[in-house]
Amino acid sequence: MAMITRRALWADAVHAVSSVWVATNKKNKIRVGVHTARRFRSHLAPRRTKYRKSQKGRVPLPTGGSVAGTTLTIGEFGMRIRVGTRLTAEQLSAAQIAIKRSIKPCKGAKVYLRVFPDVPVTRKGNEVRMGKGKGAFDHWACRVSPGKVIMEIRSNGDLRPEMAKEAIRLAGHKMPVPVEFLEKSKLEQLARKAAEQQKQQLAAALESAESVPAAAKASTA
């Protein structure tokens, strides 16, 4: 039996979508009915939002050369998505549980979410005609651009890279898009190699720039 936390119950009470309708008949009798929409129960839900519903929107694309959110900042291992998509709270919760179960033997290892589902998604029933307003609230989701790190794993040094890679592989089955495994030590090595290559290219460019005036002077002489 699934355990329901106090926070989940409070979120259900705050974000329950209810519509009260009042109808009168010829005898001026008032009839009041309440319709409540059910949604997915998850601990990943904002406490309060400015509006109950929002527009669908599009997944943001990284333009301008920004690399924010594409590297590890908390832990030694992480999971990064390759394709931009909209992730639901249910998918994030399932992936988080899969990682926690896999790294449970390592004491002190923790999982951190880098994204949070704060966009309300609505839905209409089957065979419902277009129009008549927006549908009822269904679940929470978040828009994630390609190359973003969505989860990180931090340990006290007991977690081996093989075990972390297996945990990310299991969590990747819960995602609707392909993911990749990140390791902080390898990323640092790649960064050092890239810096060295850049220095070598800059030095070669400076040497070629200095050799051009010398050749010009020799030709004039």
Tell me the CATH number at 110: 3.90.1170.10
Q: What per-residue confidence (pLDDT) applies to 194?
A: 76
For 87, phi then psi, to 5°, come to -100, 135
Task: Provide the whole-model pTM.
Answer: 0.68
The answer to whether position 189 is within a domain reads yes
The answer to whether position 12 is within a domain reads no
pLDDT tens digits, one per residue of 73-116: 999 999 999 999 999 999 999 999 999 999 999 888 999 999 99
In sequence order, what E strands does the chain have? 17-24, 30-37, 77-81, 85-88, 110-113, 119-123, 136-144, 149-154, 179-183
The answer to whether position 221 is within a domain reads no
Q: In terms of residue numbers, what domain contains 104?
A: 42-57+67-124+133-200
The answer to whether position 81 is within a domain reads yes
Q: What per-residue confidence (pLDDT) applies to 62?
A: 85
pLDDT band (50, 70, 90) for residue 65: confident
The answer to whether position 1 is within a domain reads no
Q: What per-residue confidence (pLDDT) applies to 85?
A: 94
Percent of the chain with pLDDT over 70: 76
pLDDT tens digits, one per residue of 179-218: 999 998 877 777 777 777 777 888 888 888 877 666 666 6
- Which residue reads 């109950």 in tokens? 52
The answer to whether position 103 is within a domain reads yes
Count of domains observed in the chain:
1
The answer to whether position 73 is within a domain reads yes
The answer to whether position 35 is within a domain reads no
pLDDT tens digits, one per residue of 158-184: 899 999 999 999 999 999 999 999 998
The answer on pLDDT for 36 being more than 70 is no
CA dihedral 71, 45, 178, 108 (to 10 degrees): 60
DSSP track, 129-141: PS-SS--EEEEEE
Which residues face 151 on adjacent strands?
A: 79, 113
Q: What per-residue confidence (pLDDT) applies to 67?
A: 84
Q: What per-residue confidence (pLDDT) applies to 3?
A: 54
Q: What per-residue confidence (pLDDT) applies to 6?
A: 59
DSSP-derived letter for residue 170 is H
Angle at 137 between CA 134 and CA 138, to 5 degrees: 125
Q: What is the rounded average pLDDT for all residues in the chain?
A: 81
Q: Which residues contact 160 (CB under 8 A, 6 or more apart)?
A: none
